Amino acid sequence: MEPIAFAGIDGRIHLLDAPDQPPRCLAADRAHDTYIYTWPTWAPAADWLAVMALPRERGTTAVELVSLRSAAVRRVWSTDDGGPVFLYWAPDGRRLGLLVQEADTLHLLVADCTTDRPAERLASGAPLYWSWAADGAALALHVGGHYGRAGNAQLLLARLEAERPVWETLTVRPLGFRAPAWEPGTHRLAYAAAVGTDRRRLLLTDTASGHTEEVLAVGDEPAFVWAPQGRRLVLADERTPEGLYEHVALLDTQSGDVQPLPGGAAAVFWTPAGDALLRAVPGPAGDLLLWERLDLTDGTAWLLAGFSPTQELALLLGHFDQYAQAVRFYSQQEPALLFAHAVPSGRHNGRAADRAELWLAVGHSPVALRCLASGRIGFFAPGG
């Protein structure tokens, strides 16, 4: 099983080389009395971790890179008025994308990790989501949300190989979807936009040739995630006010076949082999969420675990289409799901106290559940 990096409840980043070994602290925790470290995000080669450094009291907020080979630490961004929101490595590991807030504005910064320069601002706006191209040489940005609700809404393509970014506008009529999604290993980009006389469509653009095709009609705020092998997309249509996608389907972009899937989901992800989906669904009593594994060959849904998400995991699930491109919480070596669980633990000094735990659900028939450590969020290292 791949190593795991997780944010402990002690404000430190810990590494688990194997589930049966004790965790060890990462070098970035040298200032743990001053900072709370969180969101450990693996580089594609598993040689670096990007982490958020949040001051325990007033002070500078930062994003740091920690070498897992030398324990060297490099600060790529900091501010005294704001903080980091989201970290996402390019697939080639050369660049790190940082969504940060400074004052009252969101910015997308890019740090070139082959240099010592700090991260440079690429774009600003809110909301702001992006997807890295497979070669790491370009990214697509959805800025401003739905075109009908924001005058500056647009989907942009930024090519980063030149001395300065070369910009191209793909559409100024994006729907209320969040993250665009580049197909793994190709030049095809999926996004949702209004076409012609306000037809709402999922589009595929080949960013090498410029060819765009309309794939199918969608709702006003769809979410979609590519299978790791490409070709197929899981498509979640309109989201209810309670955060549930009632209609989820599987789209084969080569044949055009659309296969409705049983049941809805609050969030949905692919297994590494592309043979099943992992979905978070509301529990019957409404007090927990459930992790399910949906087999795509026979439609069998296996219950993996019930859980109450930590604040970090709840944020991830609420923006699953973006986070699915950036982090891994399912092992590529065996069927093992990693998740954080917030456990109410009574009252302390008159205040309710929570205990955050990191759990592993191995297999699916039956499932073996194991508590690994105290932690708020954790991810597997990229596997081969």
Q: Encode pLDDT of 76-120 as tens digits.
A: 999 999 999 999 999 999 999 999 999 889 999 999 998 888 999
In the sheet that 154-159 helps form, which strands lie side by side, from edge to edge?
128-132, 138-143, 154-159, 166-171
pLDDT digits (tens, 9 = 90+) for 208-237: 999 999 999 999 999 999 999 999 999 999
**Residue where the block lists tokens 């986070």:** 323
Determine how many CB atoms are found less than 10 A away from the CB of residue 41: 20
Give the pLDDT confidence score for residue 352 in this predicted structure. Answer: 42
Give the phi and the psi of residue 264 in degrees, each rounded to 5. -100, -170
- Please say if the pLDDT value at position 176 is more than 80: yes
Give the pLDDT confidence score for residue 69 in this predicted structure. Answer: 87
The count of C-alpha atoms lying within 13 angstroms of the C-alpha of 95, restricted to the half-sphere facing its C-beta, is 24
- Please say if the pLDDT value at position 186 is more than 60: yes
Across 195-215, average pLDDT: 94
Give the pLDDT confidence score for residue 350 in this predicted structure. Answer: 43
Give the pLDDT confidence score for residue 384 in this predicted structure. Answer: 60
In this structure, which amino acid lies at residue 115? Answer: T
Across 9-18, average pLDDT: 93
Helix locations, the chain, DSSP H: 311-318, 320-323
- Please say if the pLDDT value at position 301 is more than 90: yes
Average confidence score pLDDT of the chain: 92
How far apart CA 125 and CA 367 sit, in angstroms, is 43
- Please say if the pLDDT value at position 353 is more than 60: no
Task: List own/partner pairs for 275-284 with CB under 8 A and 24 or more apart.
Answer: 277/234, 278/304, 278/330, 278/337, 279/248, 280/317, 282/244
Confidence of residue 163 (pLDDT cuts 50, 70, 90): confident
Mean pLDDT is lowest, of 70-79, 197-206, 295-304, 348-357, for 348-357
Q: pTM of the prediction?
A: 0.94
Query: 1-123 architecture in CATH?
Result: 6 Propeller (2.120)
Give the pLDDT confidence score for residue 242 in this predicted structure. Answer: 86
**Structural domain boundaries of the chain?**
1-123, 125-218
- Please say if the pLDDT value at position 325 is more than 50: yes
Residues 21, 22, 23, 29: is their CA dihedral positive or negative? negative
Task: List own/partner pairs for 125-129 with CB under 8 A and 24 or more apart.
Answer: 125/152, 127/178, 128/99, 129/178, 129/179, 129/180, 129/319, 129/322
Across 124-145, average pLDDT: 96
Contact 4, 10 (CB under 8 A): no
Give the pLDDT confidence score for residue 71 in this predicted structure. Answer: 81
Burial class from Cβ neighbours inside 10 Å (0-12, 13-18, 19+) for residue 247 reads middle
Across 194-217, average pLDDT: 94
Share of the chain above pLDDT 90, in %: 80
- Please say if the pLDDT value at position 154 is more than 70: yes
How far apart CA 11 and CA 13 sit, in angstroms, is 7
- Please say if the pLDDT value at position 14 is more than 90: yes
Give the pLDDT confidence score for residue 28 in this predicted structure. Answer: 54
Structure tokens belonging to residue 253:
């972009």
Confidence of residue 285 (pLDDT cuts 50, 70, 90): confident
How far apart CA 282 and CA 298 sit, in angstroms, is 22
- Please say if the pLDDT value at position 347 is more than 60: no
Across 235-247, average pLDDT: 91
